[in-house]
Homo-oligomer: A and B are copies of this chain.
Amino acid sequence: MQDVARLAGVSISSVSNYLADYPYMKPITKQHIQEAIDALGYVTNERARSLRSGRTGLISLSIPSLTQAYFAELAEEIIAAARRRGYGILIESTGFSRDWELASVAAMARRATDGLIMSPLAMEDSDIPRLRGEFPLVLLGERLFDVPAPHVLVHNVEVGRALTEHLIAAGCETIAFLGGVLESNHPSAEVLRTKGYVQALEAAGRPVRPELVRTLVGEATSRAGVELVERMVAEGVKPDGVVCYSDLVAFGVVRQLREMRVRIPDDVRVVSIDNLDEAQYTMPSLTSVELGRRQIAELAVDSILKQVKEGRAPAGELYADYEIMYRESSPAVGS
């Protein structure tokens, strides 16, 4: 920068001003500086800039695992949203471990990044005090509500309700929820989505039959979807409409139903949530809810950037819009 200043015949601070788009500057001066920059191939050293300015241009993203397609696709959107704003994303994969989640919070004190977007899945209420602090923070999902920071949320209840309403409108008589949880006071995605399912049934004056709500045993994989269908059918439960907790589960559900020669959507309609890339490519393609990942990404990044300027934002809820993407497994019905 010294060299640029010398070559341009100006002071070092004019160069700095130029780089910062300082408005009051003679065009001729600008031009000289630009020429010197080009001649020397100068690029600013981000390390020095960040020490002095207090900003790194980086945001930490702490998510459970990139191996889970939903998180990978969300990360992709967050990277894109950050880049549009001139920011970079440092990814920390926490593997559903409380220790790693806490580690990524602790790392904020080291000021290697300007803020943290995190999906706290393993942290406990007792860890909430550690999330206090001045650093910009955004939480993804409905856990840990008492943290003094904004939460970016998905309309889980409404999504469950909308999908169920769609199946009702399509004429389904017996609607199952695979991967749901009926009784619980923990506000997990499963519970909330199931709540929406129940609301829709009740609004339609239908009974909620517990044998139609099948809870996942382990992780939400397609194998789990296969098993859920096997067990349900073995018990003689035969729905003509199925809401799946997630696309991964739905992939297994669809596969197993076809295996059993059930026609989709003719015999059974299948709908799901996540709208993974792969949902377009299955046979049949899968009707699924786009949870607004792009919007989630933008809300989260924008909130961080705002907090960088104005300090930690208070607790609050930012909701993303969802959309049912109708595909072959359950086409839209004309209203």
Contacts and interface: CB of A to CB of B under 8 A. Distances in A.
Contacts of A259: 258, 283
Contact of A281 (B44, B90, B221): B221
A270 B43 CA distance: 52
Nearest to A222: B281
Given A72-B66, A112-B88, A222 B46 contact: no
A43 B111 CA distance: 9
Interface residues of A, number: 48
Nearest to A254: B255
Main SS at interface, chain A: helix
Interface stretch (A32-40, A73-81, A319-327): A73-81
A72 B67 contact: yes
A9 to B, nearest CB: 25
Nearest to A93: B79
Q: State the number of copies, please.
A: 2
Interface in A52-92: 54, 56-58, 65-67, 69, 72-73, 75-76, 79-80, 83, 88-92
Contacts of A215: none
B56 A67 contact: no
Given A112-B46, A278-B222, A66 B66 contact: yes
B252 A110 contact: no
Given A51-B48, A222-B281, A283-B226, A73 B67 contact: yes
B80 A76 contact: no
Interface of A: 43-48, 50-51, 54, 56-58, 65-67, 69, 72-73, 75-76, 79-80, 83, 88-93, 109-112, 221-223, 226, 252, 255-256, 258-259, 277-278, 280-283
